[in-house]
Amino acid sequence: MTRKYFGTDGIRGTVGQPPITPDFVMRLAHAVGRVLKQSESRPTALIGKDTRISGYMLESALESGFNSAGVDVVLLGPLPTPGVAYLTRAQRASLGVVISASHNPFADNGIKFFSAQGTKLPDEWEFSVEAMLENPPQWADSASLGKSRRLDDAAGRYIEFCKSTFANDLTLKGMKIVVDAAHGAAYHIAPKVFHELGAEVIAIGCAPDGLNINQDVGATHPQALVDAVKLHQADFGVALDGDADRLQVVDYAGRLYNGDELLYLLVDDRLTRHEHVPGVVGTLMTNMAVEVALLSRGVQFLRAKVGDRYVLEELERNQWILGGEGSGHLLALDKHTTGDGLISALQVLKAMQRSGQPLAQLLSAVTLFPQTLINVRLRPGQDWKNNKQLDQETRRVAVELGDSGRVLIRASGTEPLLRVMVEARDADQAKLCAQRIADTLSI
């Protein structure tokens, strides 16, 4: 089965164009509400959002759709995606809903959902929602309509939860930390978390206006963080994306570290403390150097499809706790049920504090293989799967690389793009091979 509306991370698109229109979003919430009512007589849905101007409109549409199906709503206001996951579980709600397009520009938006346990919902649940969308609505009568209220201290509750994941015997006193919230959902939360743990905080990307989310700041534009760390001679820098579920960090020298390196660091910290780490889950995009380094330490490594939900599924299947993506989605299931940029940053800082070593030294065992990633925009209806030139060139490159590299071709789950990735020990070879493959799509 294929999904009509759901991608790898909920439903996403350009605001004002289907499916990100108020009428569809209201229908979506109504359909989700009816699915919830199949197993619960009076469900409650929590709704959080990032800082996009369109969030107001979509929040109202969701609220109306849920209420019309007899579902109560709790409005959380601007809150990171992992904050919604946490409060859904803490409040014993039936469902968590996030209005966000994550790292996309402000003109996009999206809707994603969390289970009552604060986890991403499986494909089967999304199929059931899409099937319900095909049915005519069944409006609740006046006596059965859902009610709405606002949880005024949602941000404060989430701040305390984040702080609780940092060791009680450690402090950030004496550290100067630059915090970049991408003008997104953590703008009023991230600086407070680090400040309340003792750090001197320099905040950038913490002044949202509804239109500037992810604009030249945040995890997808880390140069702003690099520049700020150097300018302020800070000890550490943290960059989040628009909904704060992914992370990039910078050390005192201005060196940027991605999610692959940070995933290895989390494993190394636990092994150093003699904790058992039976295995780790990455994705098809995870750098080969991480796999090699983990295997050398006796830690099994598995690759999931791209998307933190698939990493989570593999972790649960194997009963492991650590996984992540190079983009900065990191999972530590003994700390949270989903990827959380703030909590991941605290785990990195905790490893540094305990060891007394800088990041560069902690990660000296991992030298990433050069990767080239080219995003090729697909024309409407372009059939890349049956493109013979693409298939032939991909095979030629795979033979050329042999055991010293790999090729990955995959479609984006959120945009009309084909992602061409080539990894090799030699950077020039990776670049040339990726370009050769990408060029076949313009033929």
Looking at the annotation, which residues are catalytic? Answer: 102
Beta bridge partners of 113: 97
What distance in Å separates the CA atoms of residue 68 and residue 413, rounded to the nearest whole number?
Answer: 30
Cα distance between residue 265 and residue 180, in whole Å: 21
**Whole-Å CA distances, 359 to 182, 254, 264, 343, 346:** 23, 11, 11, 17, 13
| Helix segments in 17-151, DSSP class H | 22-37, 55-68, 81-90, 123-133
| Alpha carbon of residue 420 to chain centroid | 21
Q: Shortest CA distance to 201 belongs to which of 211, 212, 193?
A: 193
**Strand ranges inside 336-416, DSSP E:** 371-377, 405-411
Q: Is 145 exposed, middle or buried (0-12, 13-18, 19+ CB in 10 A)?
A: middle
Q: What is the C-alpha separation between 404 and 369, in angstroms, rounded?
A: 9
Distance CA 156, CA 305 (A): 35
Q: How far apart are CA 256 and CA 266, in angstroms?
A: 16
For the CA atoms of 45, 55, 48, 329, what is the dihedral angle to 10 degrees?
Answer: 120
Return phi, psi of residue 235, to 5°: -85, -20
The H-assigned helical ranges of 38-176 are 55-68, 81-90, 123-133, 154-164
Cα-trace Rg, the chain:
22
What are the angstrom distances between the C-alpha of 288 and each of 329, 370, 391, 394? 17, 10, 23, 19
Token match 């350009």: residue? 14
Give the separation between CA 397 and CA 422, rounded to whole angstroms: 9
